[in-house]
Structure 1
Amino acid sequence: MSVQTSCWLWLLLLTPNLASGFEGCQLGEAVRAFRPPADGSLCPPSESRCWHDGVVADGPGRGDAMVTVLWSDAEPMNRRVHGSYALRKSSATPCFSPSAMSEVGSCLDDGCWRYSDSCHDSIGGVLRAQGADGSTKHSSCRELGQSGYCSTAKVAKLCPESCGKCRPLRSCVNLKRMLPLFQRYAQWAWYSQWNQDSVLHLLLVNPDSALRTPAGSRFFVEFGFRPVKGRLGDESNSEYLRRLGWKGVRFDLDHEEPSVGLFRERITMENVVSVFRRHNVPQKPGIVMIDIDSCDLWVFLGLTEVFRPRVVQIEYNRHLRFADNLTLDCRAGGKPGTTDSELYGASIHAIAAAAEARGYAVAWVERCFDVFLVRSDLVCPGSKLPNLDAFKSFTLHDGGCLDPWGEFASPATAQERQSVFLDLSSTPTSLRKGDR
């Protein structure tokens, strides 16, 4: 163990007010938080005009001292603040103490120590602890727990998992219960294309709502990686999970950087399984993200013949109507669409049909962008959404979806739509039989 690590461990045992699994504001908790003016003008925290009402939109689970606030006045900027600058409305106490460290500033590397607010042991190495009888022991969390040191407050705080203080995480997710959480809180992003980060947090991270992901499944795969700078770094729908310690690979048609797990690949329904095998993707990864603006649904069908990701995020065609049950016809003899028109991908209902055929259920739709699917065996019995009515307005034609890139998508004629799209309402067996 390095000298630096030893210093960190000793500091932690001496510091009573570092954030832990039993501190921090909860999802939905009302706060009054510091918010700098959107125009960049100065506004010191000492002035009351710089503080605004809002609710916590992430809660615990991420492992840093930051909180995301949805402002009551609907201001979209500066939602991300250090927990010491967010005061609970109920008690005027901060979500975290000023000494609580944020991993964003100093803990981005794998070798960096980070505390966890999702109730895991905070120390992976050896720490020094003093027992009630005055004895001193250098050991791991696991051994300290077995030796009775959990009666020491600081050991219980740093080693909640070994001390039996953690609540068991969910082995299944209740999609009916999740729906209002998504509707209320899935409105923020740190790195993602739109609000996908908030969906991932609620579905995979927050201990009060998330599906338990075994350590061996904390692996992501993303197609269609966008190597441009987002709000805090590389804009990527998987970046949020990577910063939480998940492993994974990203594929892009035009860019490659193997040192950071980005590889140049053309993904098709015929080769997706071989590509996954070549890059050592586990058979049941935590999440697969599909955004290739073409045969997305068919790649999903080809993938799930062999691989069974726990969660799938797949882009839908926002130009299609909610009532449409259409997908680009990527079977043999089908005509390809074009990424510079409306002729790509699949509708929400078509993706839902493919999901059902492959043993998945719709969990949420990120407006204008992605459908989130959960493998059916991970959905709590009786909790699947009865229909997709909550997403009726999530398309251009149905009025609830703006088109940030409308200039790149030229309208298609009725004849063009008919020539390239397959109507699954009349040919559902195409999905169940894996027709090529």
Structure 2
Amino acid sequence: MTQRNWISRISEHESRHSSQGMQDGVIDFICEHIEISNKYCIEFGYDSTSWDDCLPNTKYLVHERKWDHLLMDGNCHNPDINLHRHFITSENICELFQQYDVPKEPGYISIDLDSTDIWVTDALLKNYRPSFFSVEFNPNFPIDAAMAFPNDKDEFWHMDRVMGSSLKALNMMARNHGYSLVYAGCYSTARHHDAFFIRDDLIEQSHIPSLETFSNTHVPLHAVCVNGRENIYLDYGVWLETKDLQKSRAAVPKQWKKYITGSFFQRLRRKQKMLMHKLGFAQ
């Protein structure tokens, strides 16, 4: 295997030190193979007030590689670990980066909001050029579904399959900014569903895998949607062409929605569980 093909070997290095899944080994392997000018990482959201009670993507970089860092979350705050409480949106992300003096070319950014990730990432990439970044995708959608969660700060994850955007939609967004998809975690084996993208000028001599390479990442995860929120999704391809919210929603194929609503019996079972919970019965 030549150096040109190192990207195809990333999945062989999946391992976990402190991350939720096997992201640590992926991050370490990427750092060994690309030039990183600023040893600085950012992670949001970070759902804890300490390094020990969370499973972050950046802990290994900070503790083992001694990178500088910034952590942000909508609920948690601890200046002692440079963690700051902010409700992150596509409108304020660049202002927040400026507020905390984030370098224009940070080494790595980890994005995990369970909702508007695609829009926040799109906004920050207009002003910041990380060497590489990761963003959580919705694994319920197959590789051909360009489904985007809406850019609406009032929409959030309800602990079901309506969470974030599909891998294809994220790849389309990243390509528009000069980044290539190099790895996507299959939840069944890697215990995470983060997609990793590297800036194109850093991998000019490397072989880039096709999107279809990651078709195995389609894994049903979380409870089916039973409240009609499958209809908030956009066809990201149509959005890029029209910038029209209504047209983008209307263009979503029914089949794509079925991946988050499930079958009739799955929905019935979900409603039964919700009713039992509401009535106070143990599950």
**TM-score scaled by length of structure 2:** 0.76
Task: Choose which of 209, 212, 217 in structure 2 pairs with 1:394.
Answer: 217
Work out the percentage of aligned pairs sharing the same amino acid: 22
Task: Choose which of 370, 373, 394 in structure 1 pairs with 2:197.
Answer: 373
Would you say the 8 A contact 1:254–1:264 is kept in 2? yes
Q: Which amino acid aligns with 1:240?
A: Y
Aligned to 2:278: none
Aligned to 2:172: 353
Q: How does 1:276-295 map to 2 (within 5 A)?
A: 276-295=97-116
Aligned to 2:74: 253
Aligned to 1:237: 57
Cα distance, 1:300 vs structure 2: 0.5
**2: CA distance, partners of 1:303 / 1:254:** 21
After TM superposition, the runs of 4+ consecutive aligned structure 1 residues lying more than 6 A away are: none
Q: Give 5+ residue unaligned stretches, structure 1.
A: 1-172, 398-402, 432-436
1:23-79, CA deviations, whole angstroms, 9 ceiling, x for partnerless residues?
A: xxxxxxxxxxxxxxxxxxxxxxxxxxxxxxxxxxxxxxxxxxxxxxxxxxxxxxxxx
Q: Give 5+ residue unaligned stretches, structure 2.
A: 188-192, 244-283
1:361-419, CA deviations, whole angstroms, 9 ceiling, x for partnerless residues?
A: 1011122310100111112246222x12221121224xxxxx4xx3xxx31259532x2
Aligned to 1:148: none
Q: Which amino acid aligns with 1:351?
A: L
Asked if residue 199 in structure 1 is aligned to residue 26 in structure 2, the reply is yes
Would you say the 8 A contact 1:317–1:347 is kept in 2? yes
- Cα 1:311–1:251 shift into 2, 3 Å: same
Cα distance, 1:428 vs structure 2: 2.8
Partner SS, residue 425 of structure 1? helix
Aligned length: 236
**2: CA distance, partners of 1:382 / 1:236:** 28
- RMSD, aligned α-carbons: 2.5
Aligned to 2:239: 427
Would you say the 8 A contact 2:49–2:83 is kept in 1? no
Aligned to 2:10: 182
Q: Which amino acid aligns with 1:203?
A: I
Asked if residue 220 in structure 1 is aligned to residue 33 in structure 2, the reply is no
Partner SS, residue 227 of structure 1? coil
Cα distance, 1:259 vs structure 2: 1.3
Cα distance, 1:421 vs structure 2: 0.7
Cα distance, 1:424 vs structure 2: 1.9
**TM-score scaled by length of structure 1:** 0.50
Asked if residue 412 in structure 1 is aligned to residue 213 in structure 2, the reply is no
**2: CA distance, partners of 1:203 / 1:383:** 14
**1: CA distance, partners of 2:53 / 2:92:** 31
Would you say the 8 A contact 1:329–1:335 is kept in 2? no
Partner SS, residue 237 of structure 2? coil
**1: CA distance, partners of 2:96 / 2:28:** 28
Cα distance, 1:335 vs structure 2: 7.5
**2: CA distance, partners of 1:278 / 1:329:** 26
Larger helix share, 1 or 2:
2
Q: Which amino acid aligns with 1:411?
A: V
Asked if residue 309 in structure 1 is aligned to residue 130 in structure 2, the reply is yes
Cα distance, 1:311 vs structure 2: 0.6
**2: CA distance, partners of 1:424 / 1:254:** 29
Q: Which amino acid aligns with 1:302?
A: A
Would you say the 8 A contact 1:335–1:420 is kept in 2? no
Cα distance, 1:185 vs structure 2: 2.2
Aligned to 1:166: none
**2: CA distance, partners of 1:229 / 1:265:** 16
